[in-house]
Each structure stands twice: as C-alpha cells, then as structure tokens.
Amino acid sequence: MKNYSPQQQDYIQKKIIEKSLNGVDLSDADLSEVVLSGVDLRKANLSRANLSQVDLRKANLRGAVLNQGDLSDANLFQANLREADCREANLCKANLSDADLSQANLCAASLWRTTLSRANLWATSLCEADLSEADLSDAKLMEASLIGANLVRADLTGAKLCGARLTEANLSQVNLTGADLKGANLSGADLTGADLRGANLWGANLTDATLHKTIMPDGTMHSHKLVVPL
C-alpha cells in the first residue's frame, strides 16, 4: 500500500473529519480501519485501495474510480456508486442493499455472496462478473449488461431485468421467481435447475438457452435444451 508523508496523512484525516474527499487521489491506500460513512468521495481515485470491512454507509462515490479495489465485507448500504468504475473490484460479501449502482462499470468484479437487494443497477455493466450466490432480490437491473456473468445459485426473486443482456450467462440454480425478464436477451444462457415460476418472459430471447430441469413460469419443468427461432 502507498506510504503517505505525515503532511499527507494529516490532510487526508482532516478531509475525512470534514467528510469531504471529493476528487482526492487515494489509489493504493490502506483505508481498512477508516470510517467513511456519509463521506463525499465523488470522483475520488480509490483504485487498488484496501477498503475491506470499511463502513461506507450512505457514502457518495459517484464517478469514483475503484477498479481492482478491495471492498470485501464493506458496508455500502444506501451508498451512491452511480457511474463508478469498479472493474475487477473485490466486493465479495459486501452489503450493497439499497445502493445506487446505475451506469456503473463492474465488469469482471467479484461479487460472491454480495447483498444487492433492492439495489439500483439500471444500465450497469456486469459483464463477466462473479455474482454467484449473491442476493439480488427486488434489484433493478433494467438494461443491465450481464454478458458471460456467473450467477450460479443467485437470488433474483422479484428482480426487474427488463431489456437486460444475459447472453451466455450462467444462471444455473438461480431463483428467478416473480422476476420481470420482459425483452431480456438470454440467448446461450445456462438456466439448468433455475426456478422461473411466476416470471415474465414476454419478448425474451431464449435462443440456444439450456433449460435442463428448469421450472418454467407456469410451473412446468423443462428437461432439454430449448431453441427458440429468431
């Protein structure tokens, strides 16, 4: 982690007390023992920073750079991460419930067992992200990009996925009961063992999707690879 001079440390501490770190360069910093709840971190550079287990409740991280940062087990309840750059960030087991991640970039991010219930993920990029066993219940994922994402055993109960791109995504054993997948692209997706009871699939593209032992919206079970002509 980056070593700061005493003067720099005093400046950062002063800004934390003032709850204003807007645009500050904290790349590679170790902030693992810092309380940042409610702090203004808009457009701050936190790339590769250690924010593991940090309290970031209601923090404003809009447009912040967090690529390759460690936010594992961090508390980001109701945090604003709109348009943030979180590529390849470690968010495993973090609490992002009710957070705003709209239009953020989380490509290749690790979100294993992350709590994203009721989070706003509108037009968010989650391509190749690991969302296995994540809680996305009632999350807003309209027009989100989940191409090639790993969602094995994720909870998407009641999630809004209208127009979402889930091409080649791994959705095996996913709970999609009551989810809205209207107009979603699920071509080539693996829905083995997924539960789609009560889900809205109107206009969804399921070309070459695997539906082995998949429970369909009407409660029937498919046991083969479904190919829907374009």
- How confident is the model over 10-25, as pLDDT tens digits? 888 888 888 899 999 9
Q: Which residues contact 1 (CB under 8 A, 6 or more apart)?
A: 28, 29, 30, 50
Flag the least confident range among 1-5, 110-114, 155-159. Answer: 1-5
Q: Which residue in 124, 65, 71, 108 sits closest to 93, CA to CA?
A: 71
Flag the least confident range among 3-7, 102-106, 187-191, 197-201. Answer: 3-7
At 210 the pLDDT is 94
CA distance 43 to 84: 8
For residues 196-216, average pLDDT: 96
For residues 172-177, average pLDDT: 98
Average pLDDT taken over every residue of the chain: 94
Q: Which residues contact 78 (CB under 8 A, 6 or more apart)?
A: 57, 58, 97, 98, 99
If DSSP codes are grouped into helix, strand and coil, which group holds residue 20? strand
* Confidence check: pLDDT of 91 > 70: yes
CA distance 152 to 171: 5
Secondary structure element (H or E) that encloses residue 209, with its range: strand 209-215
For residues 208-220, average pLDDT: 94
For residues 130-149, average pLDDT: 98
For the residues of 47-109, what is the DSSP string, one character each? TT-B-TT-B-TT-B-TT-B-TT-B-TT-B-TT-B-TT-B-TT-B-TT-B-TT-B-TT-B-TT-
At 229 the pLDDT is 44
* Confidence check: pLDDT of 72 > 80: yes
At 224 the pLDDT is 62
Torsions phi, psi for 52 (to 5 deg): -60, 130
* Residues above pLDDT 70, as percent of the chain: 96
